[in-house]
Structure 1
Amino acid sequence: MSNKQQFLIVAALFLGLGLLWFLKQDPALNYLNAALKADTELQAYPYQFRALKIDKGIATLTTPRSPEVSVLQFLKIAQPTLDTSNPDSPDMIAAQKALAHVQEKAGKLAKAQEGVTEVQWEIDRSWYASHGLIVE
């Protein structure tokens, strides 16, 4: 097989993979993620919400909140300067309210997208893993 034939085969494979990737793109999902990234308040928060999928009007968004991980564990990672030793302190209560507020805002942004009627939340295991915490 000549170099030219090998090059054509490799180029065809890459072209095929690129086409497959392009066809699997979901414009509504990309638009929702762009809307989440464009919001300055969400961008200023230490955790970035992302849309994973939109299926039958239900947008699945990532969240750091879950019964599997306490909010204290999240705040220790997201806001390392925050004193988490007293969960009832005014600073801790404010941090928890801020998390609830930005998650609610992300949900409202998702529901504002055409075709999205409901939001489902999924724990962001990869975010926790990137911070050294494995969530089962």
Structure 2
Amino acid sequence: MSNKQQFLIVLALFLGLALLWFLKQDPTLNQLNGMLKADTELQAYPYPFRAIKVENGIATLSSPRSAQVSVLHFFNIAKPGLDTSNPDSPAMIAAQKELAHVQEKAGKLAKEQPGIQDIQWEIDRSWYASHGIKVE
């Protein structure tokens, strides 16, 4: 096989993969993620809320909150200067209210998008894994 033939095969494979990637893009999901990234309040928060999927008018958004992971684990990562030894301290209560507010805003922004009737939340296993915490 000549170098030219090898090059054409590699080029065809590359173009095929690029086409496959392009066809798998979900414009609604991309638009929703773009909108979440554009919000200055969400951008300023240490956790990047994002849309995972959109199906039948329901947007699934990532969340650091879950019964599976203590919010203390989240704050130890996202707000390393926060003293998490006393969950009832004013600083912890304020941090929890801020997280609830920011997550509520992400959900509200998602619901405002055309075609989105409802949202659901899914624990962000990959975010935790990137910080050394395995979520079952």
After TM superposition, the score normalised by the length of structure 1 is 0.98
C-alpha separation in 2, matches of 1:130 and 1:20? 27
Return structure 1 stretches of 4+ with deviation > 2 angstroms: none
1:121 aligns with 2:121: yes
Deviation of 1:55 (Å):
0.3
3-state DSSP of counterpart to 1:66: coil
1:46 aligns with 2:81: no
1:92 aligns with 2:92: yes
Deviation of 1:86 (Å):
0.7
Q: What is the match of residue 24 of structure 1?
A: 24
Q: What is the match of residue 37 of structure 1?
A: 37
Deviation of 1:67 (Å):
0.2
In structure 1, stretches of 5+ residues that fail to align are: none
C-alpha separation in 1, matches of 2:123 and 2:81? 23
Q: Give the count of matched residue pairs.
A: 136
Amino acid at match of 1:79: K
C-alpha separation in 1, matches of 2:73 and 2:10? 47
Deviation of 1:32 (Å):
0.3
Residues 24-62 of structure 1: CA deviation (Å, up to 9, x unaligned): 000110000000000000000010101011000000110
Deviation of 1:70 (Å):
1.0
Percent identity between the two aligned chains = 78
Q: What is the match of residue 61 of structure 2?
A: 61
3-state DSSP of counterpart to 1:52: strand
C-alpha separation in 2, matches of 1:67 and 1:61? 16
Deviation of 1:84 (Å):
0.6
Residues 86-122 of structure 1: CA deviation (Å, up to 9, x unaligned): 1111110000000000000000111011100110100
1:111 aligns with 2:111: yes
